[in-house]
Amino acid sequence: MDFHILRLFRVVIVAAFIFHGSCYSQKAGDYSFMIDATSAPKLSHFDYIVIGGGTAGCALAATLSQNATVLVLERGGSPYDNPTATDIGNFANTLLNSTPNSWSQLFISEDGVLNSRARVLGGGTVLNAGFYSRAEDTFVEEAGWEREEIEAAYEWVEKKVVFEPEVKGWQSAFIDGLLEAGVVPYNGFTYEHVYGTKTGGTIFDRDGRRHTAADLLEYADPDMITVYLHASAHKILFTTKGSMRPKANGVIFRDANGVLHTAKLATHNSLNEVILSAGAIASPQLLMLSGVGPEAHLADRGVNPIVLDNPMVGQGMGDNPMNPVLVPSPEPVEVSLVQVAGIPHFGSYIEGGSGLSFSSNLTHSYFDGVINLLNEIKLPTENISSLLKSLDPPFDVTTQAGVMLQKVDGPISRGHLELRNTNPDDNPSVTFNYYQEQEDLNNCVEGLSAIVKVINSKVFSKYKYPGVSARGLLDLILALPINLRPRHIESLFDLKQFCKDTVMTIYHYHGGCQVGKVVDNDYKVLGIDALRVIDASIFLRTPGTNPQATIMMLGRYMGQKILRERADFLETEEES
């Protein structure tokens, strides 16, 4: 281990500056239809019940409310309650604040990778790094989506929450470095997925304020939509008459005082539906808790009654592996999250950020939370404890450094999700099997090799200490508590082993309710009526370089499609 590098890292992370934002006027989010679930009636009726007010859920519900009554059940609170927490300078603090009711729920997969789940209206868009980039053409073709409708749905999202980033010193050198490393051509600023290096969109505006999927609710008809906050969905209800297909007809949810409420589908229109948009972890989990999933497993966990045996629920879980390289800089760097993507001809995407800030209290309370959760789920804690020593002594820091990362496309490696218990507020047990497949591993090696070229490029030299080798920077990563996996690298450096040992998540987890396995091409749950899944859990792979654009778009696109079906149905009913 190159301890000189570690010392250097400590020296350059001294508090560099405090991020100054401009004055904020809180106009967005003043929604009269947003109510704490403690004020919800015992029983209410709606045309559509959307479970999860996240990235897909907000876009979907806003759209459906144009012609139907809609209820959104969101387990978290409102991001408008604490607007500065979503400023770019608070990215790490908000993500790492995983205290019991915070917006970020700590989640650790069986692979020993630290992960997070959104628990707030707006979902992942409240926590994420903001990069906005559309899906590749082949993804759209394979999904069978209508081109023109897709285009219009992306534009609907972009008009409200997407900006062109201001590319400053570090990001600009990163672009030049990618070009020198051969990720060419430079395609300028574009939302499209094109080979080469590009600047993408961002949901942060020029003042560093985050815009989220919750802002898409500004499109909603306030008389037609209701959003219950702190409303944790517990179970989907079904009618199962004799040998008929089960049909969803309502949802039981719990408010912050632990009181149970029921929302039912209004029965005047047989097209009314319950729609799961609870994200890739909670959607398969809630299906299982409602009795839809692998029968023997559900029975073993005490789920009762079993509504439909489908062994594919929770299968096909994927999380794109991410490996970071931290590059301490002799020059000051701007605060930036992802603005630029390298899209090479191999299956790895290259992105970066600079000037991240962490408050020491939160870093420490985060790792206390990690150790508590590990004890709870009975994973060993010894290795994280030894890595944590590298964090002492604690400071409030703004790093004078950049991070470059490679994210494996796809991925091909797949895992599964199982219930730990019947509490929907607890994380299920999830295994992603990062780098189980050689092709994923090969892509990591190619991605890291490209990053090494960027670091060593002439154009990037300003942001790298001259005496520091790329190997030294890789050693630095091995010494940091970035995951709970054992380290195997000794004298002979093996990039494949490095990929496995330092794997992290880029939080693009998906699958669990995949098309063809759990849902059909219209995302209707197989074998069940009046129930769909619309969020990242339907994907077979991640769209584009980063998924949020396509997930918000999907909510809009499907909302439009469902409304069209509804209007057509009413027309034929009137004719007959």
Ligand X SMILES: *[C@@H]1O[C@H](CO)[C@@H](O)[C@H](O)[C@H]1NC(C)=O
Ligand Y SMILES: Cc1cc2nc3c(=O)[nH]c(=O)nc-3n(C[C@H](O)[C@H](O)[C@H](O)COP(=O)(O)OP(=O)(O)OC[C@H]3O[C@@H](n4cnc5c(N)ncnc54)[C@H](O)[C@@H]3O)c2cc1C
* 66: contact with ligand X by CB under 6 A: yes
Which residue number, 5 or 539, has a Cβ lying nearer to ligand Y? 539
Neighbours of 114 (CB within 10 A): 21
Please tell me the distance from the alpha carbon of residue 310 to that of residue 239, in angstroms, as a whole number. 18
Question: In this chain, which stretch among 117-125, 242-250, 428-436, 469-477 interacts with ligand Y, using CB under 6 A?
Answer: 117-125
Which residue number, 489 or 495, has a Cβ lying nearer to ligand X? 489
Neighbours of 213 (CB within 10 A): 31
Angle between helix 470-478 and 3-12 (nearest 10): 80
Q: Of 544, 350, 344, 357, which is closest to residue 460 (Cα–Cα)?
A: 350
Strand partners, 251: 236, 263
Annotated catalytic residue, options 193, 230, 508, 510: 508
Question: In this chain, which stretch among 143-151, 259-267, 547-555, 567-575 interacts with ligand Y, using CB under 6 A?
Answer: 547-555
Please tell me the distance from the alpha carbon of residue 248 to that of residue 236, in angstroms, as a whole number. 7
Output the known binding site for FAD: 74-75, 120, 547-548
Residue of the chain from 187, 383, 442, 469 that contacts ligand X (CB under 6 A): 383
Neighbours of 26 (CB within 10 A): 9
- Give me the torsion for CA of 520, 523, 528, 530, rounded to 10°: -140
Cβ at position 558, least distance to ligand X in Å: 13
Q: Which long-range contacts (CB under 8 A, 24 or more apart) does 380-386 make?
A: 383/484, 383/485, 383/486, 384/481, 384/484
Strand partners, 292: 308
Residue 570 touches which of ligand Y, ligand X, none (Cβ within 5-8 Å per kind): ligand X
Cβ at position 407, least distance to ligand Y in Å: 10
The 367-396 site mask, x for binding ligand Y (CB under 6 A), equals ------------------------------
Residue 383 touches which of ligand Y, ligand X, none (Cβ within 5-8 Å per kind): ligand X
Question: In this chain, which stretch among 324-332, 377-385, 397-405, 500-508 interacts with ligand X, using CB under 6 A?
Answer: 377-385
User: Would residue 416 show up in a list of annotated catalytic residues for this protein?
Assistant: no
Which residue number, 383 or 469, has a Cβ lying nearer to ligand X? 383
Please tell me the distance from the alpha carbon of residue 133 to that of residue 131, in angstroms, as a whole number. 7
Number of H helices, E strands in the chain: 14, 28
Cβ at position 471, least distance to ligand Y in Å: 28
Residue of the chain from 13, 49, 95, 173 that contacts ligand Y (CB under 6 A): 95
Question: In this chain, which stretch among 124-132, 239-247, 312-320, 432-440 interacts with ligand Y, using CB under 6 A?
Answer: 124-132
Q: Of 340, 546, 322, 315, which is closest to residue 440 (Cα–Cα)?
A: 322
Question: In this chain, which stretch among 125-133, 147-155, 165-173, 556-564 interacts with ligand Y, using CB under 6 A?
Answer: 125-133
Please tell me the distance from the alpha carbon of residue 57 to that of residue 299, in angstroms, as a whole number. 30
Cβ at position 181, least distance to ligand Y in Å: 22
* 394: contact with ligand X by CB under 6 A: no
Q: Of 370, 350, 336, which is closest to residue 98 (Cα–Cα)?
A: 370
Residue 567 touches which of ligand Y, ligand X, none (Cβ within 5-8 Å per kind): ligand X
Residue of the chain from 50, 338, 397, 533 that contacts ligand Y (CB under 6 A): 338
Binding positions for ligand Y, 161-220, rule CB under 6 A? none
* 361: contact with ligand X by CB under 6 A: yes
* 380: contact with ligand X by CB under 6 A: yes
* 362: contact with ligand Y by CB under 6 A: no
Binding positions for ligand Y, 273-292, rule CB under 6 A? 277-280, 282, 286
Which residue number, 311 or 380, has a Cβ lying nearer to ligand X? 380
Output the known binding site: 74-75, 120, 547-548
* 431: contact with ligand X by CB under 6 A: no
* 89: contact with ligand Y by CB under 6 A: no
Q: What is the DSSP letter of 524?
A: B
* 52: contact with ligand Y by CB under 6 A: yes
Please tell me the distance from the alpha carbon of residue 317 to that of residue 319, in angstroms, as a whole number. 7
* 123: contact with ligand Y by CB under 6 A: yes
Cβ at position 456, least distance to ligand Y in Å: 26
Residue 486 touches which of ligand X, ligand Y, none (Cβ within 5-8 Å per kind): ligand X
3-state SS assignment for residue 50: strand
Residue pair 324/405 in contact (Cβ under 8 Å)? The answer is: yes
Please tell me the distance from the alpha carbon of residue 532 to that of residue 292, in angstroms, as a whole number. 13
In this structure, what are the phi and psi dihedrals at residue 92, rounded to the nearest 5 degrees?
A: -70, -40
Question: In this chain, which stretch among 265-273, 378-386, 411-419, 466-474 interacts with ligand X, using CB under 6 A?
Answer: 378-386
Could you tell me how far CA 52 lies from the centroid of its own chain?
A: 13
* 422: contact with ligand X by CB under 6 A: no
Binding positions for ligand X, 516-575, rule CB under 6 A? 563, 567, 570
How long is the chain?
A: 576
Angle between helix 438-456 and 470-478 (nearest 10): 130
Residue pair 353/335 in contact (Cβ under 8 Å)? The answer is: no
Which residue number, 185 or 486, has a Cβ lying nearer to ligand X? 486
Cβ at position 116, least distance to ligand Y in Å: 5
Which residue number, 230 or 500, has a Cβ lying nearer to ligand Y? 230
Residue 380 touches which of ligand Y, ligand X, none (Cβ within 5-8 Å per kind): ligand X
Whether omega for the bond prior to residue 185 falls within 30 degrees of 0, making it cis, is: yes
* 371: contact with ligand X by CB under 6 A: no
516: CB partners within 8 A, 6+ apart = none
Task: Please classify residue 11 by burial: count the beta carbons closer than 10 Å to its beta carbon, then call 0-12 exposed, 13-18 middle and 19+ buried.
Answer: exposed
**Total of chain residues touching ligand Y, rule CB under 6 A:** 43
* 381: contact with ligand X by CB under 6 A: no
* 90: contact with ligand Y by CB under 6 A: no
Task: Please classify residue 472 by burial: count the beta carbons closer than 10 Å to its beta carbon, then call 0-12 exposed, 13-18 middle and 19+ buried.
Answer: middle
Residues recognised as catalytic: 508
What does the binding site for ligand Y look like in residue numbers (CB under 6 A)?
A: 51-57, 73-76, 95, 116, 118-120, 123-125, 127-131, 232-233, 277-280, 282, 286, 338, 424, 507-508, 535-536, 546-549, 551
What does the binding site for ligand X look like in residue numbers (CB under 6 A)?
A: 66-67, 361, 380, 382-383, 486, 563, 567, 570
